[in-house]
Each structure stands twice: as structure tokens, then as C-alpha cells.
Structure 1
Amino acid sequence: MVPLPPPRGISFISPTTLGLYYSAIASSSCFVFPFSSSGISRSLRMGKKRLMVPAKDVDLSSVEYKPLVVQAPHLTGFTFGLFVRILEAPLIGPLIMNFLKKENKVDELLRHTVIPEEPMFKPEYPPQEMEPSVVVLDEDGKPEDRVESALRCLPHYDPAELWENFSESFRYWKIRDYAYAYRSRKVTPLMVAERIISVIEENRRNKPPTPLLISFDAADIREQAAASTHRFEAGNPLTILDGIFMAIKDDIDCYPHPTKGGSTWVHEVRPVKRDADCVARLRSCGVIFIGKANMHEFGMGTTGNNPNYGTTRNPHALDRYTGGSSSGPAAIVASGLCPAALGTDGGGSVRIPSSLCGVVGLKSNYGRTSMEGSLCDCGTVEIIGPIASTVEDVMLVYAAMLGSSPSNRISLKPAPPCLPIHSLSDDSNALESLRIGKYTPWFNDVSSTEVSDKCEDALNLLSKSHGCEMIEIVIPEILEMRTAHLVSIGSECLYSMSADCEDGKDVKSTYDTRTSLALFRSFTAADYVAAQCIRRRIMYYFMEIFRKADVIVTPTTGTTAPKIPPSALKSGETDMQTTAYLMQFVVPSNLLGFPAISVPVGYDKEGLPIGLQIIGRPWAEATILRIASAVEKLCGESKKRPVSYYDVLRAN
């Protein structure tokens, strides 16, 4: 295939740590980066600069966790627009930004501190041991063969029991359910396509608009579904994924749809000429693509708010956000419209909406899957990842789409991709020996104890049922980690957008985006290098943790789905307290490239989903998938039917 030209558009943030960092500059009286709160046991003065103690010499016993305090204005409507215009003013904007950063000691951390570690410009890992009880996938082989290997890893499937004796309790239809229905002639892909088209067209007529998709072509869906139906009639479906409907986030190329990234202009400067690599691999397995899913514009937000096309609503509560920036993919899966979708994750954007919508979201290791053909293919923190209703469906989609780029294979030296073998004996043996790390003060720093309690209950069930060992850990310098992530992804974003911003395209963007760009422009080359030195420090701490723990667990988010203010629908909003809670736990996996997964573990008293996050060692997707599957079995019996749910497989 002819490679796409480098995009002139944008590198997306999905979503970034903007909220945590922007909080620091939005309220000059409340938020600082004191070294004592971040776990650095001591710092030395060297003239006007501070000298950090080398990471290997930090006394972890002296680390004191201090909850994040955010007191920033909640702005919508006219006041938000006025605030953005002030930030963009040629003289006063930079003065205000620099003053607030100085008052909050941001410059002290990045520019007035000597960090002894060398910079790490992208994740670097020592060689990793092979995970136990796994099947190795051939990333150079055909996607169809990898899907077949993944299928053999799954537990026994009894279609008669699951289909014919469908109980009153709610559960999502899985990919294997669709495959059984097609093969037994209960339904055809073309019949399901008509049901999906009907739902999408009805949804697009909502007032105010609440679109799940930004780009949709009914004729294209029918053509794909007809081809799949013919393959089943001829008795030669391509794979278990043949006839499976999926949505693609609007920052990933899916020909012939334009790629807009939730904006009104990116497609004007970057035409789509072919599928992204991951989409092409799924298409070769027979997947049917329903269109480009809605998202927070440019991924620069945590809620999924999009004034350009309308804000996607949470299927569990239509007055609530889905989470962002992969809002459309998560809502489409949670509503039953598709069993799986693709999102991107540069700062929790697969995991946050998966948690808030009650579905499963996988962030694979950085470099595991090619980013070619996405709008985020030049960064160091972003991946394309699957969102699905079940862990086994995530495994099947992940197996089809994986495959690192040649450059990453040289620089990262990835371990072979693997999947867990879900037979009873293999799972039991592998789970029993696992050590699960938990930093309790951080784990419990949530908006409501319902979130941490549900996650704690899931871990207790896991330990009781499988004998996993719980280990208390300490994670230093969490505030520095957030700052390093923001500077990294913000600088990368600004670099890829600079030409179009110079052409004046940025004024066509939402207030969310323009606020982000004002912040990113304040970063210097020195800030960027300092952030990469911090990245190496944080990598040292986490690799030391992984010497004694196999995974790290947290709630996925520090809060359940927030309400949508009506005043935010037209022009967006900035709500840093909410953003801080949504991003509380997701950053390490992006800055350091580790694999992570969000799996549903229950609901709060208002019926809103809660997710548990499992962070793995480098390249250890099989381990987190194994644990997520076990958690799913232990916590999945009480699944609630979303308020907005469509049974497209058995519709009357």
C-alpha cells in the first residue's frame, strides 16, 4: 500500500491532562506544585534553582500523598468565549498565562529545577519475560489468522444456552452471538444493517441533536452488509468478525468517509485516500463499518462535548456526558448498536468513556499497533484501541488490528503480542500467582466513596476467588507526572497544528480547542526537555513497582458520568474540577506507554457505571486481559440495561 503523506492537520489529544495542568494556571491562588507533595524526599538549592534528588535515591517511606485540589472557574457560554478571547489577545494573553504559571510555580518545576535524569523522548523498556499461559500472535501474518488464534483462546461457547434460553437479566450480544445468528440463518447482516440505519436516522432527527456519528452513508452500509450476507449464503464467511458492525472514531481514516476529528475544517486540509492500517486489517476480516463516530473536538476534552455536531449522550442517563474524547464509540457500544468500535487514547480517551458508559476499553502498549492513517500518528503517548461490550470481543478486535510500525519495531523492540488462554485450568494457575499493586491513598482519592468501594469490592472478589496477592505500593511525583504528560502531548499537538494555525484555521475551532492552544503556545523547548527528564524519573519508579507487582489497579475515573449543563451545548465549557476527577488515574499509561484496560464493576446509587482500571507491565496485554476477564465474570451478573438501548440482533 502507498503510505499516506504526513498529515498537515492535527495530532489529537484523547483527552489530555489539560484539565489538571490548566487548573494550575486558571486560578492563581489555589494550585501549586510543591515538591514535598509530589514524593521528592528533599531538594537542594543550587543558586536560584532546585536540584532534584536522583530517582534511585528517593526515600519512598517519606512520600506523603496529598489529594489534588482544584478550584478553577466553571465557564460556559458568553463568559467562556470572553475568557478565550482574552487569552488569545496578542499582548495581554501571554502576560496573563505567564503570570499565572509563575504564581503557581510551574516555571519553578520545569525551568528552575535541575533534573538529574536524562530525557526520555519516547517510552523505553528493559527486555520483558514471556507471560504465562498465553498464545503468541504473529503480527506479520494475516489478520484473519490472528483472529482464528484469538478465537481458540476463548472459553467454551454454547449458542443454544445463550440464544434459545435468553434470560430476563440483561446482557450484551457478543461477536460470537452475531456469528451464530448469521450461521444459523436466524438473521442476516443485511437485516441487521437495516435496523442500525433506522436507529441512526432517527437519532439524527433529535432536537437538540445528539449524534452518535459525524459521518454516515446508508448506501455504503447496505453495500458492505450485502457482500457479507452473500458470503454467509455461500458458506464462506471470512472470519468470526464477518458481518460484525463497528464504528470508527472520527480521528481514524475509514475510506470513503472524511476524517474531521470532530471539527468543521480538518477534512479540508487532509483528504482521506485509504483506510488506516488498523481499519484495513479489520476490513479484511469482514467487519462492516457504519461510519465515523462523534468525539470531543480534536480530543481536547474529557467529557465528549461537541458544539459543532451536537453532544453524544450517555446511554445510561441521557442528561449525562459519555466521557471523552472517544464519546461516540463508547456510546455506540453501550447502546447496543455495535458490539465494538475503535477509539484513540492519548490521555484516557478510550478508558474514560468506556468506564462512564459501562463497557470495556483497552489501551494497548504504545507502539503495539500502527497509527498510520490516524490524525495522531506523530506523537509519543497515543494509541488506537478497541472498545467493546465484553472482554472477549476486545480480544478478537485487538487480535485483528494489531501490528507495530517498522520504525517502532526497531526503536521499541516490542515483545511478541500474546493473548491469554481462557481455559479453566490455565486461568486458575495464572491468576493464582498474580501480585496486584495498589496505592491506597491515590486509589481512594475520588469524588464519591461509591467509586472506590465498588472497585475495592471487585478486588476482594478477585482475591477471594483466585488467590491473587494484594500488595501496597507507593507512587511518587504524581503531580510532576501529570505535568510532563501535558507538556509532551501539548507540544506534539501544537507542532502538527502549527501550519494550519498560521493559516488562521484555529479560529474555526471550539473554545475548548482554542483554550488548549493558548496554553500549548506558552510551552518552550526547555519545558519540553524538562518534561522528558521527568518521564524518565517516572518510568524508573514504575519499573521498580513492577519488580514486585504484576499489575497496578485503580478506579478508571474518580467520578461517574457528570451532568451536561444545558448552557454548555452551544459553546462548550471548562470545568476543571470534573476534568481532574475524570483524569485522576489514566495518565501513567500514556506517558509511559503501558497497557491498561477499563472493565465495568458496578454502578453508583444513581445507576451510573463504575470502571476498574488495570495497568500492566510493558507489552503485557495478555495479563491485563486475563484479569479483566476474571473481574467481568465476578461482577457482570448485575448488568443494567441502558436507558437508551437497541437490540438490533433480535428486533421484532
Structure 2
Amino acid sequence: MGMYNIFGKVRWSATDKDLGMVKLFISCTYSAELLLILVVAAPALVGWKLKLFVFLEESILFGNLIKSNFLKLNHFPQILRDVVIPDTPMYLPEYPTQAPEASVRHLDEGSNPVDRVATAVECLPAFVTKVPHIHDGSNPFLYWTIRDYAEAYSTGHTTPTEVAEQFIAAVEESKTKNPPLTFFISFIADDVRKQAKESTERHANGKSLSILDGILLAVKDDVDCLPHPSTVGTKWMAKVREVKDDAVCVARLRQCGMIMVGKAVMHELGMGTTGNNPIYGTARNPHDVTRYTGGSSSGSTALVSSGLCPVALGTDVGGSIRVPSSLCGVVGLKPTFGRTTNHGLATVGWSMESCGPIAATTEDAILVYAAMLGRHPNDRLYSQPLLPCLPMLNETPHHLMSHLKLGKYPDWFNFTLDKQVLEVCNKSLELVLEEYGTETKGILLPELEELRIGHLATVGSEYAAGFQGYDDSLLKELCYETRATLSLFKYFTASDFLAAQKIRRRAMYFHMQAFKTVDVIVCPTTASSAPVIPLSALSVGESDLQKTGDLMRFVVAPNFLGLPAISVPVGHDSKGLPIGLQLIGRPWQEATLLRVAKAFELICAPLRNRPSLFYDLLGNCKAEPHQSKSLQ
């Protein structure tokens, strides 16, 4: 069968016999356009099989043959090397001029983070107290929010010190469970106590810095945060890269009084979607501890999902905020590329990575996003950003939501391995239509498979270049999965990279065309719910590129194009595992995304369950009331 698409006649054809392990799915949509989706062809490797594969892949005799055959089997050469693309390369996202959003409050990104947080609080709906009268746990209450903690502090129900002690005890207790739970790479209890004491004193003296003062925040281990090293999930990165200052995003959150509780475990170098880390331990899914959290922001998401922190920081170069947020049933925001700065991140995802909040609720994500947004003088952008703004959620949502259009590319949306994912996501769209009158409209997004390959060639080239100067003895200390992936990345050529940047420009055009008729693009965040952790993968690691492809199928476009995207939990499958819906927005229009995410969160709350592993920190606090002079 031949393939005809926007490129013109592609100079390759395939039969079922030629494809081998790859299944080719083609369906006709919108007249002549074809949707091509390739399931990644690669064996699942754990234990000794993974060790043998890495040995062969890195060998002089077999390495190039293995990598060449893998890429041919998955049609990389055909798309990157055998197709003539007339477009010029686009090395960083370039956006057309965007219209301003409606019903928002604008922020000055150069202003004090405390002032931006105060503005964010004014945008939120009226707060309904749950403290000190502890909620009984019935729907729709699932998590204590930032405003719950702030009220508990201001009314004297508890103190940041008491919450910190509850947190420290829970972290220590988690290590004794069967199986033991892993949340952190670096955790210093006394540092947490010190920060909590300072916050408690500010509250007692009526000098709290903001509503975020005393709120626990976990930080992914590729984001610099003193006094901790940044290992990026490796054995050796902290030895060759000294942390001298907080990352800019961390510094801004400290200004607001947040308590940095430690560096959360992550997939090594961020080069994986499961969260597996044989060095420091693999974070487990609070909804089912036999399953992965997703990655690479695995520990950050597990901490939020389990109730230990209302919010955490993650980074996202290929779905690393949104994938674990979906699998663990929380909210994960990847801002527009350049909306938050990467200054102080140990990253080599130069043209795609964004730092953003992972939170129990959309409102909590808004508060932290407001504090951390803004560029750094060293940041380089090709497009002038719109002034940052926040949605006025204190206004009646029905009128605003009824005027928004959601875009759905049906054949892409429907291509999930797990039909329950499809059913839950479609149900959420029906509920939003019934409640708010928000219309879902069919759209076309051509060349999505080419986009996926362009993303992989780009991130692969950037990672290969970023680690080119490291000594081979250090690279040999990486986990087997990371070594296998990095070895494959080194096979990409300069021509592959340039072809990928041409694909990036084309993909940007197609998405901007779609945004002429819709406000937000919707799709499942992942094609399946959380996968089981193979026992043999805990000590050696796991390489399952088909599983990786399934988890990343819907998430790479926002990274490749720099678009804002958010995963919002909308329900569970029959096993009780969370399912997330991804919302993709126009560049710089985080406010619209957050408004729509809040609407889905509200309407789907009765369909969600609290995880089986849950720490009720605020509910367990028994601090003596004190006369506080600070009221948030």
C-alpha cells in the first residue's frame, strides 16, 4: 500500500510482510487525507536480555547494524531522509500573532511573584471552608488544597511546623511499606523543619509572605534547589555539575514562602516515560503500587497524588509532566515554551523543555504558575509572548464556556489501545456539552506521524549533542535503558535534524490552521492507563519502546511546537486506574486552558476516586490553636 499526504507521493511503500512487527493503521478522513499511525517495532527487554541488547548495541561489530535496522523497521529513514521537504527549518517555535483572551486578569511577568500570587487569588472562585471541620472524604472532595492549608494556618487550626512533622513522619513510614515506596533522591528532614519553623513564625507574627507561605512543594531532581544536588536521576551528574543557586522558578516560589521539601526521584536523565529508576528506586502509582507512575516527573507526581504535597515542580520535553499526571489522576500543566524560564534546569532539551506545576487541583496549579512564570534575560525566543494572564474563575463559567470550541481529530482521538480510555474521555466531552454547552468540533491535523518522528529526531539530536563531551566511563554508569536510548540517539545525522526542523515548521502551520476554528484541541493524554512494573525491571531497568510510544502518542506535539498543554483527570477505568484528558491551547493562552481544565475538573469530580495510598496530612494535624494575626 502506498501513502499519499501533504508531502506529495512518498517514495516508499509497505506491505504487511515488509512491516514485520509494525502494524500500519491507515484510515481515510476528510476526503483524501490519510492518518498514518505506526506502532513502534521493538522488543520489550528486561533483566539479562536488556543487558545483552545494550552490549550488542554499543559494540563496534553489531551496533550500527542494530540501530540501522531499528530505524528502518520504524520508517525513520523514509520520513527523514527519503522525502523532499521544501519548507525552511524552524529551530525554535515561531508563532503568528495571537488575539488576546477574554475575561482574564493580566500579570506583569517582571513583577514580584508575591504580587502575582495575590492577583491569582483574586481570580479564584469564593472559597468554601473545610477546616477546622475535617471533611468526611465523600465526593467531590479528594485533596486538601493550597487554600485549605492557608486557612488552617491563618485560623490557628495548625501550623506549617505541624504539617511538616506529619510530612516527615509519612515519608519515613513510606520506606517501611511492602513494597517500600520511593519518593525522593535527596531529602533532608532538618532543612524542611527549618523552613517550616520560619514560616510558622511569620504566620504567628502576622507577616506571612503570601497564600503560598508554608505550603509544601516537591522539586523534580533536574531543577536546581539548594541545599540539594541535582543528580538528574544519575549516579554521577552531581559530581560534574555543582548547584550554586536555586533555579529561577524555585527562587520565585521561595519568595512566596513555599517550603521546598526535597528533590523528587525521576527517570534517569528524563529519558523515559515510565519513571523506572534502578539507582534510586522507582516511584509507585498511589492508585495501585504495582504500577508505574509514568515519567519522567515520577516522584513529583507520586507525592502530589498521594496527598503528601498539594503541588510539585516537573519538567516536560516529551510529556514528562502530563503523562504521569494522567496516570496518577492529578493536574499537570506544561506552559508555552518560554513562558517559564529554564534557567537553573539541568537540561539538554534546549528547544522544547518547559517547567511547570503538577498539582492536586487546577486552582493550585494556577497559584504556583502565577508565581513561577516569566522569562530570564538569557532566554531566547523567536516570538514575542502575549502578556501573561489568568482566567477570572470567579465569574459564572457557563457563559464563557458556551462560547469556546473544542477541537477533536476523530481518528487520532480514537486511536487508543485501551477502549476504556476512549470511553472515559468521550464521556467527559459529553458532560461538558450538557453542563456548559461547550461544542466539540471535528478538525484535521495532517502528518502527525511525521511530527512524532520529527520530535524524536530533535530530542535525540539535542541529547546526543548535550552528552557528547562526557567521559565514556561516566556514560557507562548510566542505566541500561538510558544507554540503549542514548546510543540510538547518536545515530541521528545532521540531515535528520534539519529534516525534523522542516517538519516542525509544517506541523506549526497545520496546528495554527486548526486553531482558526477552535480554541482548544482535546485528546486523551495517554493511550492506556498505568502499566504494571515488571519485578525484574526494579533492579536492572526496562526498555519497552512500544509501551513508551503508547504513553507518548498524544503528548509530543505541544513539546515540538512549544504549545501550552494540560492534563486533567476525568475518571477511571474498571481497575480503578486514572484517565486523563489532554487540552492543547494556542501559544501563550494558558488562561483559556486553565479555564477549560477547571470546568472538566468540576464536572468530572463525581467520577473520580481518591488513591488507595493517601496521606491525610491536614486531617491528622492536632496542633493547639494560636491567635494568628494573618488571614489569607
* TM-score calculated relative to the size of structure 1: 0.90
Question: What is the aligned counterpart of 2:156 among 185, 197, 203?
Answer: 185
Question: Are residues 447 and 103 of structure 1, via their aligned partners in 2, closer, same or farther at CA, if it must alter by over 3 Å?
Answer: closer
Question: What is the aligned counterpart of 2:191 among 209, 220, 243?
Answer: 220
The answer as to 2:544 corresponding to 1:578 is no
Alignment partner of 2:39: what SS? coil
Question: What is the aligned counterpart of 1:155 among 107, 121, 125?
Answer: 125
Question: Are residues 611 and 214 of structure 1, via their aligned partners in 2, closer, same or farther at CA, if it must alter by over 3 Å?
Answer: same
| TM-superposition CA deviations, 1:173-210 (whole Å, max 9, x none) | 00000000001111110011111111112223456543
69-78 or 442-451, larger mean C-alpha shift? 69-78
Question: What is the aligned counterpart of 1:402 among 352, 370, 373?
Answer: 373
Report the alpha carbon displacement of residue 352 of structure 1 after superposing the two structures with TM.
0.4
Equivalences for 1:92-241 in 2 at 5 Å?
A: 92-159=62-129, 163-164=132-133, 166-169=135-138, 170-206=141-177, 209-241=180-212
Alignment partner of 2:165: what SS? helix
> 2: CA distance between counterparts of 1:112 and 1:36?
13
Alignment partner of 1:342: what SS? strand
The answer as to 2:262 corresponding to 1:291 is yes
> 1: CA distance between counterparts of 2:400 and 2:613?
38
CA contact (8 A) 1:209 1:311 kept: no
| TM-superposition CA deviations, 1:310-341 (whole Å, max 9, x none) | 11110000101000000001000000000000
The answer as to 2:337 corresponding to 1:366 is yes
Equivalences for 1:37-56 in 2 at 5 Å?
A: 39-40=5-6, 42-43=8-9
Alignment partner of 1:361: what SS? strand
Amino acid at match of 1:315: P
Report the alpha carbon displacement of residue 162 of structure 1 after superposing the two structures with TM.
6.1
Q: What residue number does 1:514 align with?
A: 483
Amino acid at match of 1:259: S
CA contact (8 A) 1:60 1:476 kept: no
> 1: CA distance between counterparts of 2:194 and 2:606?
37
243-252 or 438-447, larger mean C-alpha shift? 438-447
Q: What residue number does 1:4 align with?
A: none
Report the alpha carbon displacement of residue 133 of structure 1 after superposing the two structures with TM.
0.2
Report the alpha carbon displacement of residue 476 of structure 1 after superposing the two structures with TM.
1.2
The answer as to 2:512 corresponding to 1:532 is no
Report the alpha carbon displacement of residue 256 of structure 1 after superposing the two structures with TM.
0.8
| TM-superposition CA deviations, 1:362-397 (whole Å, max 9, x none) | 000001011010012661111001000000000000
Report the alpha carbon displacement of residue 575 of structure 1 after superposing the two structures with TM.
1.7
Task: Give ranges in structure 2 of 5+ residues lacking alignment.
Answer: 13-28, 622-632
Report the alpha carbon displacement of residue 523 of structure 1 after superposing the two structures with TM.
0.7
Question: What is the aligned counterpart of 1:558 among 503, 518, 527?
Answer: 527
The answer as to 2:325 corresponding to 1:354 is yes
Question: Are residues 167 and 102 of structure 1, via their aligned partners in 2, closer, same or farther at CA, if it must alter by over 3 Å?
Answer: closer
> 2: CA distance between counterparts of 1:118 and 1:294?
39
The answer as to 2:270 corresponding to 1:303 is no
Report the alpha carbon displacement of residue 66 of structure 1 after superposing the two structures with TM.
4.0
CA contact (8 A) 2:338 2:381 kept: no
Q: What residue number does 1:460 align with?
A: 430
The answer as to 2:408 corresponding to 1:438 is yes
Alignment partner of 1:225: what SS? helix
| TM-superposition CA deviations, 1:392-443 (whole Å, max 9, x none) | 0000000000012335465321111111001233x33321111110011111
Q: What residue number does 1:89 align with?
A: 59
Amino acid at match of 2:580: G
Question: Are residues 96 and 466 of structure 1, via their aligned partners in 2, closer, same or farther at CA, if it must alter by over 3 Å?
Answer: same
> 1: CA distance between counterparts of 2:428 and 2:303?
26
Q: What residue number does 2:591 align with?
A: 622
Alignment partner of 1:319: what SS? strand
- Percent identity between matched residues is 50
The answer as to 2:459 corresponding to 1:493 is no
Question: Are residues 35 and 110 of structure 1, via their aligned partners in 2, closer, same or farther at CA, if it must alter by over 3 Å?
Answer: farther
Q: What residue number does 1:22 align with?
A: none
Q: What residue number does 2:573 align with?
A: 604
Question: Are residues 380 and 244 of structure 1, via their aligned partners in 2, closer, same or farther at CA, if it must alter by over 3 Å?
Answer: same
Question: Are residues 100 and 602 of structure 1, via their aligned partners in 2, closer, same or farther at CA, if it must alter by over 3 Å?
Answer: closer
Amino acid at match of 2:586: R
Question: Are residues 478 and 188 of structure 1, via their aligned partners in 2, closer, same or farther at CA, if it must alter by over 3 Å?
Answer: same
Question: Are residues 44 and 222 of structure 1, via their aligned partners in 2, closer, same or farther at CA, if it must alter by over 3 Å?
Answer: closer
Report the alpha carbon displacement of residue 516 of structure 1 after superposing the two structures with TM.
1.0
| TM-superposition CA deviations, 1:220-269 (whole Å, max 9, x none) | 00000000000011011000000000100000000110000111110000
The answer as to 2:390 corresponding to 1:423 is no
Q: What residue number does 2:582 align with?
A: 613
> 1: CA distance between counterparts of 2:240 and 2:137?
51
User: Could you say what the CA RMSD is over the residues aligned between the two structures, in angstroms?
Assistant: 1.9
* TM-score calculated relative to the size of structure 2: 0.93
Question: What is the aligned counterpart of 2:289 among 313, 318, 326?
Answer: 318
> 2: CA distance between counterparts of 1:35 and 1:232?
68
> 1: CA distance between counterparts of 2:398 and 2:2?
43
The answer as to 2:218 corresponding to 1:247 is yes
Question: Are residues 104 and 388 of structure 1, via their aligned partners in 2, closer, same or farther at CA, if it must alter by over 3 Å?
Answer: closer
The answer as to 2:446 corresponding to 1:476 is yes
Task: Give ranges in structure 1 of 5+ residues lacking alignment.
Answer: 1-33, 47-58
Report the alpha carbon displacement of residue 513 of structure 1 after superposing the two structures with TM.
0.7
Q: What residue number does 2:558 align with?
A: 589
Amino acid at match of 2:3: S
CA contact (8 A) 2:322 2:334 kept: yes
Question: Are residues 486 and 70 of structure 1, via their aligned partners in 2, closer, same or farther at CA, if it must alter by over 3 Å?
Answer: closer
Report the alpha carbon displacement of residue 467 of structure 1 after superposing the two structures with TM.
1.6
Alignment partner of 1:292: what SS? strand
> 2: CA distance between counterparts of 1:105 and 1:178?
52
Alignment partner of 1:508: what SS? coil
> 1: CA distance between counterparts of 2:10 and 2:594?
43
Q: What residue number does 1:74 align with?
A: 44
> 2: CA distance between counterparts of 1:204 and 1:412?
47
CA contact (8 A) 1:41 1:63 kept: no
Report the alpha carbon displacement of residue 629 of structure 1 after superposing the two structures with TM.
0.3
CA contact (8 A) 1:134 1:622 kept: yes
| TM-superposition CA deviations, 1:512-532 (whole Å, max 9, x none) | 110111111101111100100
Alignment partner of 1:392: what SS? helix
Number of residue-to-residue matches in the alignment? 604
CA contact (8 A) 1:371 1:377 kept: no
CA contact (8 A) 2:131 2:157 kept: no
The answer as to 2:24 corresponding to 1:36 is no
Alignment partner of 2:467: what SS? helix
| TM-superposition CA deviations, 1:32-83 (whole Å, max 9, x none) | xx8727x43732779xxxxxxxxxxxx9631122443344211100011000
Question: Are residues 381 and 506 of structure 1, via their aligned partners in 2, closer, same or farther at CA, if it must alter by over 3 Å?
Answer: same
